[in-house]
Structure 1
Amino acid sequence: MNTPFRLDDHKRWSQPLAPPPDRYFEQLPTRVMARVQPTEATGLAGTWGWLQQLSAPVRTALASAVVLGGFATSFWLTQPGAPTTSAATAALATVPQAEMVQYLLASDQRVTLTDLAELSEAPSDMSEAYLQASPAELQDALDSQPSDEAYF
């Protein structure tokens, strides 16, 4: 048979705790604050101390200027016409277009739509130079393509 459990049998103290000293809780905040070191004792006071000397509106304006400057710099650096170009892009720009087209037509690799989508600008007269088909041939090629009536 199990013996019944009584909490009173397992207490550590048989007497209640002693009351705190007089005015202990009134003096506690001032005693704690006296032990806290001032902020000048840390290393941040020398580095960022000048920022605390500024008024709140000036600090707000300074923070706004820093954020706006960071945004403008990141926007300027990500523009397509940014002043920095890679050496590979510069070397590729020196290759004549006729040689590029000849290489693409002669190689076994197929050019996909994603490859063509990476072109930034295509010259408008490129189709006239490399596409030599009569209007009748173009119309026959377009007519031979299957069309779905749902798109009309």
Structure 2
Amino acid sequence: MRRFLTLLIGVSLLISCWFGLGLGQPAIAARLTHTSLNQLNNSYTVAAILRNPVDEKLGEIGSKIDLNNSNVLAFKRYRGMYPTLARKVIKNAPFDTVEDVLNIKGLSNRELDILNANLDNFVVTPPEPALIEGGDRINPGVYK
């Protein structure tokens, strides 16, 4: 009886694996035709289609801090900016120019000196909703 049960399970497993457990394919790939290949004629077209706004924004600013889109952790690179001064900058964004950051009300002389020393490390681009929505600028959820 034990040998029969082992044989029965083995055969049923073999048949179910062979026929894919009887389940249909959940998605069917589109056929590659000559016209669809002509639409994607080079890698630049594909790259333009696959590029998202966040990648575009990161490509614009490079290694500088974007005052309108960066989160509070980006300010850790510069001494005296994290967390208090970074929070004030983020709270008062958006800015039209980098120099507008010096017009934040309530800044002490020390904070103004720190901002003046780091103006070359900042850039201002238009706010990107994907980067500023919610509370991710103050708390990006990165815990070490």
TM-score (structure 1 length as normaliser): 0.28
Q: Which has the higher contact order (CA 8 A, sep 6+)?
A: 2
TM-score (structure 2 length as normaliser): 0.29
Structure exhibiting the larger radius of gyration computed from Cα positions: 1
Greater share of helix residues, 1 or 2? 1
